[in-house]
Amino acid sequence: MFEPFTLKDIAKALGLSTSTVSRALRDTHEISPETKKLVLDYAQKINYRPNPIALSLKERRSKSIGVSLSEVANQYFAQVVNGIESIAYDRGYHVIITQTHEFYAREKVNIQHLASRSVDGLLVSLSSETTDTSYLQNLHQRGLPIVFFDRVTDQIKTHQIIANNEKGAFEATEYLISQGCKRIAHLTSSDHLSISVERLNGYKQALAKHGLLLNEAYIKYCAHGGMFQEETEMAIKELMNMKEKPDGIFVASDRLSIGALVVFKELKVKVPQEMVIAGFCNSDVLNLMCPTLTSVRQPAFEMGQIATDMLLNLIESKYPVHDFEKKILDTSLSIRNH
């Protein structure tokens, strides 16, 4: 039904062969100026665009990259996507975004779909459910370039780009301590996620540095990263029902941070008098929120840019790359305490 113009159409209209038309459009020196002009003018007139599908088939690359992330409704990921697009479009690549909503099954289907769809490379932030990355290893082994960002895995030898999660977590926890908190809880995603491990480390280090005892009961995991609000609610209620309630909490992710604020508001917990909250969050409306959240902010846009740059370099590299980089970007702490 919708039939774009082809080289053949131009050739027929002008009484030339398709090869001549093709060469004229690509401005080869071996076509006479008159023919070139003729072709170019006509192509302009009918607004001819080469069929990228045909090109993909011929060139065996699609000039597009695939992205797998948990969800764009998450501001952090929305910002990453903007960073990705800013680089990709400049270098002539399309971006195809897929959402996992934190489900492993969804992630696997999406990524295999992308791969068979001939994306030239993949930008991946793992879902909180993912433990088995063998399907990714498979693709990677067969030569598909992959760059991980945010939630990474060491099971696949490739570039990684992450925030300095340990330092960010350390600073946030130290901030809570500076506010006089003695019993600091930690709310985090599933324990196998790279960001969870790193942020937990930062939390532990801050406690240790300031001589606070680590209480495992203060650490709560949400297997689905807070995709279900009940998860978050239950974790916090458990904390608030403890004999020795925490007086501060460090939350490990965007979604959990927002979810925690909701619960504390529901419970009418006085923030920051009864509870000081700090957490990773890239939302740009945190200033409007009460209860108040001291936030660790990741350079999301920049992460997207760097990840994309790395991926495109892998894709366009003439030789197999074996020397991989783990890039770590600094976070920044935004203190909000009234």
Task: Identify whether the C-beta of residue 188 lies closer than 8 Å to the C-beta of residue 200.
Answer: yes
The nearest distance, CB 259 to DNA, in angstroms, is 44
Binder among 13, 35, 205, 333 for DNA (CB under 7 A)? 35
**Distance separating alpha carbons of residues 24 and 260, to the nearest angstrom:** 62
Report the site for a second copy in 61-80 (rule: CB under 8 A).
62, 71-73, 75, 78-79
Sole window of 26-34, 191-199, 294-302, 310-318 interacting with DNA (rule: CB under 7 A): 26-34
CB of 90 to DNA, least distance (A): 21
Calculate the alpha carbon distances from 75 to 6, 56, 255, 263 in Å.
Answer: 41, 33, 9, 20
User: What does 243 bind: DNA, a second copy, none (CB cut-off 5 to 8 Å by kind)?
Assistant: none
Q: How far apart are CA 115 and CA 144, in angstroms?
A: 8
Query: By the 8 A CB rule, do 213 and 278 touch?
Result: no
Residue 31 interacting entry, from a second copy, DNA, none, C-beta within 5 to 8 Å by type? DNA
* Residue among 14, 25, 97, 234 that touches a second copy (CB under 8 A): 97
Contacting DNA within 56-115 (CB under 7 A): 57-58, 60
Helix pair angle (33-46, 18-25), 10° resolution: 90
Instruction: Select the residue interacting with DNA from 1, 2, 27, 33 (CB under 7 A).
Output: 33
- For residue 181, report the phi and psi dihedrals to the nearest 5 degrees: -70, 140
Q: Should residue 27 be labelled a site residue for DNA when binding is judged by CB under 7 A?
A: no
**What is the contact mask toward a second copy in residues 248 to 267, using x (rule: CB under 8 A)?**
----------x--xx--x--
291 near a second copy (CB under 8 A) = yes
Indicate which single residue of 11, 13, 25, 96 sits in contact with a second copy (rule: CB under 8 A): 96
* Closest CB 55 distance from DNA, rounded Å: 5
* CA neighbor of 257 nearest in space, from 209, 305, 306, 195: 195
* Structure-token match 């978050």, residue found: 232
Provide the CB-side half-sphere exposure for 323 (13 A, CA).
3
Spatial separation of the C-alpha atoms in residues 231 and 246, rounded to whole Å: 18
Binding mask of the shown chain, residues 30 to 59, with x at each position contacting a second copy by CB under 8 A:
-----------------x-xxxxxx-xx--
**Cα–Cα distance for residue pair 132/2, rounded to 1 Å:** 42
Interface residues toward DNA, by CB under 7 A: 3, 6-8, 15-20, 22-23, 25-26, 29-35, 50-51, 54-55, 57-58, 60
